[in-house]
Structure 1
Amino acid sequence: MTTGKSKFNWENLIIGIIFIITSLIAFRDPTANLLAIVMVFGISALFDGVFQLFIRRRIRKVTGYRSTFITVIGVINLLIGILLLFNLYGSAAALPYVFSFWFIIRSIEGLLNSGLAKIVSNGYYWFKVIVNILGIIVGILLLKNPFSAVLTITYLVGFYFMLFGILNIIEAFAETRY
């Protein structure tokens, strides 16, 4: 039961917009934008890591749940962002592996925290579960065949970022603060 009123969440909106911009870059010109996607992904991972470190406090305040997993994921996202930004060409070569592990870890984190989405609505809960399952599938596909994934990675990344951008924007409007 909620005791507060719904307020707008700027952090989720900003992350959502960054993710959607990343997806549009990926879809526009996949081959020419591989390094740009690495840069935007690095910046997105940095922002996402910082956001996760801040949101863990809010989750603990609202639910009493100590979210060590979110803290670990936040730190991993910060490290991934730093590594990607300081070694662009090496990152482009390792991109299928980096993305696959990031997709899988981020999606598992989303699934573990999806129970909190039931507070908002049942439809939102199922949307979040489906999006995170799709993220795990994309991550596994990238791990399974990394060489062909290089050819299609910008489309897969674009799809992933579009889904999680939409999810973050929905969360920005659906966030209930106590």
Structure 2
Amino acid sequence: MDNFSSYRGNRGFNWAAFISGILMIIAGLFLILHPNKALHAFVLLFAILSIVQGFVWLAVYSRFRYIISFSWLSIISGVLDIIIGVAFLYSYDAAGLTIAYLFAFWFLFDSISGLLFSWHLRDISSFYFWINLILNILGLLIAVSLLFNPALSALTLIWLVSFWLLLFGIGEILAAFAHR
């Protein structure tokens, strides 16, 4: 039996990938052209996700309160998530600043972790050790600059997401044509 016969039958232009790619490119360009609106969109998305996650935690408590002795922690998590979500909806500026600092701290912790783990590369390869060490020191410098300039941090986050959308949008369009 021919294992590839079903694959050949499904070949053709992939409209879903094409439309997805176009939408990703439009979203990426929109974020680049309107960074302030992009930050507001991030804040709104984060607020909604936080509120939804809060209700999920509360549902977890109602389901597991008799099974897990420390399920009361889910009530605390749920209430905190809902409060954070509502606070973010109430103050876009404070929420944008919070997201900018979270992004900067993410870079900081990731760079510190990379520095700590790079010492293990000394025994494997001095070349990889030095490259990893240099890149993590650069990451640490970027993280510190982002911490001292939250506007730069927010803009960097927007640019990274924008370029990700553009790259994956182009990839989706290429994938749409590749299936012909």
Measured against the shorter chain, the TM-score band is 0.3 to 0.5
Which has the larger Rg?
2
TM-score normalised according to structure 1 size: 0.41
TM-score normalised according to structure 2 size: 0.41
